[in-house]
Amino acid sequence: MTLMQELDLQTISIIIAAMSVVIGVIMSVLSIRNLAKSRRASIFLDFHKQADQEFLEDMFEVVGEWNWSDYEQFMAKYGPTANRKNWAKFIHVSSFFDSMGKLIEDKITDAEIIPEAMAVMTMAWWEKIEPIQADIAKRWRSSESLDSSKVLYQTLKKLGYHSPVPREQRELNTDRALTEHSSES
């Protein structure tokens, strides 16, 4: 063997060793990314188990049946001193959506994995409570009350989701609440 042939073998073995290290690093990074994705999905699925029959019934009731014109009427009809069972339903539903929003906001899970049915109901939930959110925040002594629900709503809206409740129906519910409120006075 000549010196030139030895150098070529030595160079080739160094190149192969270096490439092996690079390939190993790339595989490790891909593996870590897949593990992180899998973990975010697992966290979401564990959290999603809270959306049981009771939660769905409470959510559909709050979104579809409750009507109010303003924060005062909301509290008079559904607040803790007016109706403890309804207040518990409101806290149950609002806590779920706010917690889901916090998971998205802190990038612990991804909004893209939220099932479509849950995404559109999230949209309906936020559009229902958004008019009283500022008053809730003021009264609950936290400017951040339900902010994570708002982040969740905005994130889902960017993904193209819309409320299944037509705008006319939402306005009709508000008009109905105003009529009820004025007849009570």
- Interval 26-54: pLDDT, tens: 888 877 777 766 676 676 666 666 678 88
Give the dihedral of Cα atoms 175, 74, 142, 94; nearest 10 deg.
-90
Report the C-alpha gap between 68 and 78 in whole angstroms.
9
67-79 confidence digits (pLDDT tens): 998 999 999 999 9
Is residue 88 within 8 A of residue 130, CB to CB? The reply is: no
Q: Are 145 and 133 in contact (CB under 8 A)?
A: yes
Answer whether 129's CB lies under 8 Å from 94's CB. Answer: yes
- Which of 31-35, 122-126, 181-185 has the highest average model confidence (pLDDT)? 122-126
Mean pLDDT of the chain: 79
Q: Are 184 and 69 in contact (CB under 8 A)?
A: no
Q: How far apart are CA 137 and CA 120, in angstroms?
A: 24
Integer Cα distance of 125 and 14 in angstroms: 61
Is the CB of residue 136 less than 8 Å from the CB of residue 71?
A: yes
Q: Is the pLDDT of residue 123 over 70?
A: yes
Distance CA 5, CA 13 (A): 12
Q: Which among 82, 91, 84 is positioned nearest to 62, based on CA atoms?
A: 91
User: Residue 80 contacts by C-beta under 8 Å, 6 or more apart in sequence?
Assistant: 87
pLDDT value for 14: 83
Residue 178 identity: L
